[in-house]
Amino acid sequence: MSAIPDVLELHVHRHLVSHIVVGRDAWDRFLQRLTAEPTPTAVVTHPSIVETFPDLAATVRRLPDVHLLTWPEGEATKSWDSLRDLLDELFRLGFRRDARLVAWGGGVLGDLVGLAAALYMRGIHLWHVPTTLTAQTDSAIGGKTAVDTPFGKNLVGTFYPAEFVWVDPHFLMTLPEVAFRDGMGEVIKYAFLIGEPFLSWLEASTADLQRRDPEALETMARTCAAYKVRVVQADEQDWGMRQWLNLGHTVGHALEAMADYRGLTHGEAVLWGLVAEGLVACRRVGLKTIYLDRLHRLIEAWGGLRPLPTWDETRFWQALELDKKQRHGTVGFRLPLLVEPGRVEVVEDVSLDLLRQALVEAGLITGR
C-alpha cells in the first residue's frame, strides 16, 4: 500500500455564480424564474412590504409550493431568537436541502434570511429581492450575512452569496424619505470610491434622484452594484480590497455605537465618517481639498448633516478600538483612505494624534 502522508490537503470550493439582475423588469424576471424552477420556497418579508405591495404579495401567495412568511421589522429582528424562529418555521414547513429562501426586503431581512439559508441543513438555495436603497446597492450583494449579539452588531455570520439578486428600482419609489436619504450615505461613499464619471453624474442627478426618477434610480443601482461585484470578486472574504468599501465606516461605526444605534442613521454616520476620514486623507495620502469640498456640497444637496451631541472623548476611542476591521497588536488605526476619487489606499498606522486632529476639525470632538 502506498504511504498516506500525515498531512492531507482537501481543496474545497463553493462553486457558485451570484447573478445580480438590475432593471425595471427585475421583479417580473424574478417571478418568471421562480415559476420556471419550482422547488419548495419561502419568501420572507415584512408586514409593511405586504401592505405596500399587496398585488405583488398576492401573486407570490398564489404560486404553487411558495410560502409567504412575514417577519417583524427593525434591527431587533437580526437576533438569535429570530434566527431560531425562522429555522423552526422551515422545519415545520418540512423543507429539505433542495428548498429555497427568498429575502424580500431591506438589509435587516437580507442579513437574517441569508444566515438562515446558510445554516439550514448546512445550506439551501438563497435569493434576494432587495427593496431599500441600502440593500439594492450594498447589502444584498456580496454574501455577508449576520445577526447581532449583546456583544455587538453583525458579530455572528457567514459569507453566503445569493444565487440571484433581483434589483428592481421600482421598489425605491415607496421607500420613506428617511430610509432613502439614509441609503444615499452609502451611495455618496460609492461615488468617491468609483470616481468619474459616476461622481459627476451623481452631482448632476440630485434633482432626478430626489423625485425618484426610475431611470436615474436604475443607473445609480446598476453602477453601485457593478462596483461592489468587482470588489467582492477580487476579495470575497474581506481581507484586502473589500476593505475599501469600509471608507468612512471606522469613524461612522464608532459614532453609531456611541449613539447606541438610535437617533443617528447608518448613512448619516458614514457621511460624518467620510468627512473626518477625508480630513485624515488630506494630511496622510494627499487627498486634494477640492474633493472634500465636493463631498460637502453633495452632503448639503441631500439635506446636510444634523449636529451630533457632544460625547465623552474617551468613549469615542473605546468604540473605535472595538471596530472589527482593526487588527490585534497593531500601532495606530487601520483606515482605507481616499487618495483621489476612484483610488483608495488602506493605511495601517494612522496615528491617534492625526485622527484626533481630524475629529476636532470635523467638529466631532472638542479640541483641548
Q: Give the three cell numbers for residue 170.
A: 421600482
Is 193 a binding residue for ligand NAD by CB under 6 A? The answer is: no
User: Cα(360)–Cα(368) distance, rounded to whole angstroms?
Assistant: 9
**Cis check: omega of the bond before 197, within 30 degrees of 0:** yes
Measured from the CB atom, the residue of 138 and 277 that comes closer to ligand NAD is: 138
Q: How far is the CB of 91 from ligand NAD (least distance, A)?
A: 25
- Taking the complex as a whole, the smallest distance from the CB of residue 94 to ligand NAD amounts, in Å, to 28
Of the candidate spans 60-68, 72-80, 294-302, 338-346, the one that interacts with ligand NAD by CB under 6 A turns out to be 72-80
Using CA atoms, how far apart are residues 337 and 280, in angstroms rounded to an integer?
8
- Among 22, 66, 179, 275, the residue binding ligand NAD under the rule CB under 6 A is 179
Q: Which one among 100, 125, 128, 144 touches ligand NAD, defined by CB under 6 A?
A: 144
Is 109 among the residues that bind ligand NAD (CB under 6 A)? yes
Q: Is 48 in the site for ligand NAD (CB under 6 A)?
A: yes
Examine residue 256 and tell whether it contacts ligand NAD (CB under 6 A): no
**CA-to-CA dists, residue 195 to 65, 204, 224, angstroms:** 45, 14, 11
154 lies in the binding site for ligand NAD (CB under 6 A): yes
* Alpha-carbon gap, residue 183 to 185, rounded angstroms: 5
3-state secondary structure 116-178: HHHHHHHCCEEEEEECCHHHHHHHCCCCECCEEECCEEEEECCECCCCEEEECHHHHHHCCHH
Which of 16, 352 has the CB closer to ligand NAD?
16
Task: Return the closest-CA partner of residue 25 out of 218, 158, 197.
Answer: 218
CA distances from 265 to 183, 191, 255, 310 (A): 9, 19, 10, 17
Is the alpha carbon torsion for 177, 182, 184, 188 positive or negative? positive
Residue 52 touching ligand NAD (CB under 6 A): yes
Minimum CB distance to ligand NAD, residue 149 (Å): 13
79 contributes a contact to ligand NAD by CB under 6 A: no
211 Cβ contact partners less than 8 Å away, ≥ 6 residues apart: none
Binding mask 113-142 for ligand NAD (x = CB under 6 A): ------------------xx-xx--xx--x
Of 115, 118, 167, 175, the residue at the interface with ligand NAD (CB under 6 A) is 175
Residues whose CB is less than 8 angstroms from the CB of residue 147 and which lie 6 or more positions away in sequence, other chains included: 78, 79, 80, 82, 83, 111, 112, 115, 154, 156, 157
**Whole-angstrom Cα distance, residue 45 to residue 120?**
18
Q: Looking at 108, 116, 119, 199, which residue binds ligand NAD (CB under 6 A)? A: 108
Q: Which is nearer to ligand NAD, 44 or 338 (CB)?
A: 44
CB of 57 to ligand NAD, least distance (A): 12
Choose among 205, 361, 186, 215: nearest CA to 289: 361
336 binds ligand NAD (CB under 6 A): no
83 near ligand NAD (CB under 6 A) = no
Nearest CB to ligand NAD, comparing residues 49 and 308: 49
In the complex, the residues that contact ligand NAD under the rule CB under 6 A are 46, 48-49, 52, 73, 75, 78, 105-109, 111, 131-132, 134-135, 138-139, 142, 144, 154, 171, 174-176, 179, 182
